[in-house]
Amino acid sequence: MAGFSGHGGVVVASCHHTKCEEMKEAVKARGHAMCVCWRPGEDILFAMEYGANLEKYAVTASAVLVITGDAGEEGEMQGTEMRIMREKQINFLKATLAEYERLYPTVQAAPGADVPLSGTYKLFNRKWGGPLLCGDRTDWEGDHAAYVARERGLKETEKEQWEIERQADGTYKLFNQKWRGPLLCGDPTDRDGDHEAYVAPKRGLKETAKEQWEIERQADGAYKLFNQK
């Protein structure tokens, strides 16, 4: 069973066997990613799947965590997982589940606030009907273009999916599910003064305000996104 995907900014790459179910709920509540997989008695298949998960989520993450037991104890399989991470030169932090939850507290909307909660969403343009996408091609800095497809269902599903993460100040960050990076507002403008939107190759490369968006609900149930920079 492979780990589910999150935005990739924070990744739980290993977990003590006694904490796995609690860990999955905690990771899901925070919109984080998970590399943990279970292949009892299938060591080769485990190594292949775990290695693929690390490449997909942990290599470009801003923080990688190993969840130990409550007393800091490590499971037998965790030794193998940490060895694989060291071989791939992936730095990681050991923490108990309680420490992880304190380090990354969940941020929920205030009671009665009419804004999205953290989670995975598709964003459809009200005029054209198509979803906001992250393109495959990159510019010389590795940034992907963000655009709106002409209709639903034309592209890969992950290109259309965005992990929305609420920040402590009430703004949001949107992480593309295929390419993992955040939706940004660029600096250059066209002749009308408009800025291009694009997706960075990974988290933490640009100014924070470029990644932050205010989400405002409209009277008709639609939403508008306002860049913080």
Tens of pLDDT along the chain (229 residues)? 233 334 446 889 999 999 999 998 888 777 788 888 777 777 777 778 888 888 887 887 778 999 999 999 999 889 989 999 999 999 999 999 999 988 877 655 444 455 556 667 888 887 777 888 887 787 777 778 888 887 776 666 778 888 888 777 778 888 887 778 888 877 777 777 778 888 887 776 666 788 888 888 777 677 888 888 7
CA 136 to chain centre: 17
189: number of Cβ within 10 Å = 10
* Helix/strand/coil (H/E/C) assignment for every residue in 1-62: CCCCCCCCCEEEEEECHHHHHHHHHHHHHHCCEECCCCCCCCHHHHHHHHHHHHHHHHCCCC
For 98-122, letters b (16+ CB in 10 Å) and e give ebbbeebeeeeeeeeeeeeebebbe
209: number of Cβ within 10 Å = 13
DSSP run (H or E) holding 82:
helix 76-87
User: What whole-number distance in Å separates Cα of residue 23 and Cα of residue 197?
Assistant: 34
For 124-135, letters b (16+ CB in 10 Å) and e give beeeeebbbbbb
Length of the chain: 229
Name the DSSP letter for residue 160: H
pLDDT of 49 reads 86
Angle at alpha carbon of residue 164, lines to 54 and 117, rounded to 5°: 125
pLDDT of 117 reads 62
Question: Which residues is 162 bridged to in the sheet?
Answer: 121, 176
pLDDT of 92 reads 94
Q: Which domains does the chain possess? A: 10-103 (3.40.50), 119-227 (2.80.10.50)
Q: Could you tell me the pTM of the whole model?
A: 0.50
